[in-house]
Amino acid sequence: MVASVLAIKFRTQRHVLERERWRILIVIGGALWAVVLLPWTLWGASALAAEGSDFREDVLVGATLILTLGWVSVPVLITGLDDTLDPGRFASFGVGARRIMAGLTVAALLTIPVAFFTVFFLILTSVWRDLGAGPVIVAIVGAVLTVLSLVFVARVAAMWSTRVLASRRARGAAVAGIAVGLGLMAPLAWVLFSDGLDAVLENYLVVFLDQVAVTPVGAGMSAPNAAAVGDWFGVTWRLGELALWVLLLWGAWRANVAYALVNPKFRGAGTRRRDDTIIAAVKNAPMRGVLPTRSMAATAVRARLLRYWFSDPRYLANMMGVFVFPVVFVALVMPVTGLDVRWSFLAPVLLAASIGWGRHNDVAYDSSALWLDVVSGRIGVDVLRGRMSAIVAWALPATLVACAAIVAWSGLWQVAPALVGACVGVLGLTLGVSAVSSVVFPYRAPAPGENPLGAEVGSVGAGLVAQLVSSAATVVLLPLVIAPLVLALAVDPRWAWLACIAGLALGPAAYIAGVRLAGRAYDSRAGKLLGAVT
């Protein structure tokens, strides 16, 4: 079974490379990145070998902690996992988890990132060579177990997050967990702002790393130091703890694979509704005088997308992801780097930009309903108006709340109009660009019921083109609304009103123009659009 699974993986990858040349550039770029980093790793290991054993342990434990966080968060928030061997695709073959897990495990280990980090950790084991063969052997064992834990924790994180987004109760628990996590970050941010980075590093970092060293995350890197001082009992329980952690992660991954093999893909919110909210929205809009009858299509699309944004795991994953970086910037980046309080105004701008730019492939996410919109006639402008207005319905309030929170925290009320205008302008500009990009440069996205965090096979090349074009257009347009905000913060607060007027004028204008251009392109490219996203 291992040979069969590997054959599927490599054959699929070969076909994808033949069909989509962009992936070859990504592979070459990754290989060059690894080649460039390896000499620096050798230099770092040589420099670290000249330090004391306790300092070596602290550095290695800290590096492993950072890498673990990366292996957990990057697949969940940014790239997803390669869906070539998605367990759900084997459900129709009647194979069990016991037969397929060996092949999936070997396939997960035969990747370029795993090969690079294996070499990376093995190079770092050389820092213990001056203490004898015993610590080096222990370091090699710890390095291998650490790499296995990174691979398995990434698989578990991606698969569990997918299941969490597919369940209403689990989504509620996840939101509560995120709120608790943000609450726990607040004391850390307060300490960083009040004491400064140097004091925190001096008083808290060593203690924190000592605690991490006795957990499965740092046990593999702290075991060689225990061997160096002759604490072989400490070596045994550290490596045993890490080995048990690896087995637990593999078992959790196996349980998720078994679940995927016998459970159908998630297709809805899991509840039965008596009334159709989409039809009700269309029927009631003209009666309330909200919209003219000719805009019924926009109303229906808007109601459909609002339902998606608060129930579909794919949309929820996008919504949750846009809030991560602004929070991290204010809570960690600013206090760590000692930035002035005025830099906090960047957080709402980042939020607005990430929301708008992130929808550059918005049409592809609605591939199952795209057929209905296309056969309904030339209603492209109404479709795009409904899609974008559903985003504005939650994005604009979220951005304004972020603006109010930052202004209240910083106390710079005289610059508040500039921040509000800049954020509205950024949101409108990015949504206008994304509306056009989603129609002109579409690429395949995870379909309803598929892994919302998966990397869609065969979409990397088109995805790079769409992201580069939308990013370039965004970079060219955003200074029009951000520059007055910068002047208000750095030169004179009186620039705030110009920033407010510019943002409130240019943002909605770009939004309306983008929706209209995208709607016309939608009608003229309907056939190509269907072929590109399905």
C-alpha closest to that of 392 among 355, 442, 354: 355
- Alpha-carbon gap, residue 427 to 358, rounded angstroms: 11
- Alpha-carbon gap, residue 273 to 228, rounded angstroms: 65
Reported pTM = 0.64
pLDDT at 182 over 90: no
Report whether 489 contacts 415 (CB < 8 A).
Answer: yes
Q: In the structure, what pLDDT confidence band is assigned to residue 5 with cuts at 50, 70 and 90?
A: confident
Which residues neighbour 15 within 8 Å (Cβ) at sequence distance 6 or greater?
A: none
Q: In the structure, what pLDDT confidence band is assigned to residue 278 with cuts at 50, 70 and 90?
A: low
Which residues neighbour 199 within 8 Å (Cβ) at sequence distance 6 or greater?
A: none
Q: What percent of the chain has pLDDT over 90?
A: 20
C-alpha closest to that of 478 among 427, 405, 426: 426
The half-sphere exposure of 220 on its side-chain side, counting CA atoms within 13 A, is: 26
**DSSP secondary structure letter of residue 487:** H
Total Cβ atoms within 10 A of residue 381: 19
- How open is the CA angle 144-146-147, to the nearest 5 degrees? 65
pLDDT of residue 457: 47
- Compare 171 and 441 and report the one with higher pLDDT: 441
- Alpha-carbon gap, residue 167 to 429, rounded angstroms: 34
pLDDT at 249 over 90: yes
Query: What is the separation, in whole angstroms, between the first and last Cα of the chain?
Result: 31
**Tokens describing residue 246:** 């690896």
Gyration radius of the chain's alpha carbons: 26
Per-residue pLDDT of 458-472, as tens digits, reads 455 555 666 777 788
Mean of pLDDT values over 230-252: 92
Per-residue pLDDT of 68-120, as tens digits, reads 988 887 766 554 445 566 777 777 777 777 888 888 888 888 888 888 899 99
pLDDT at 280 over 50: yes
Q: In the structure, what pLDDT confidence band is assigned to residue 196 with cuts at 50, 70 and 90?
A: low
Partners of 455 in the β-ladder: 82
pLDDT of residue 177: 61
Report whether 211 contacts 137 (CB < 8 A).
Answer: no
pLDDT of residue 288: 46
Per-residue pLDDT of 398-453, as tens digits, reads 999 999 999 988 888 888 999 999 999 999 999 999 999 888 888 777 777 665 65
Report whether 328 contacts 403 (CB < 8 A).
Answer: no
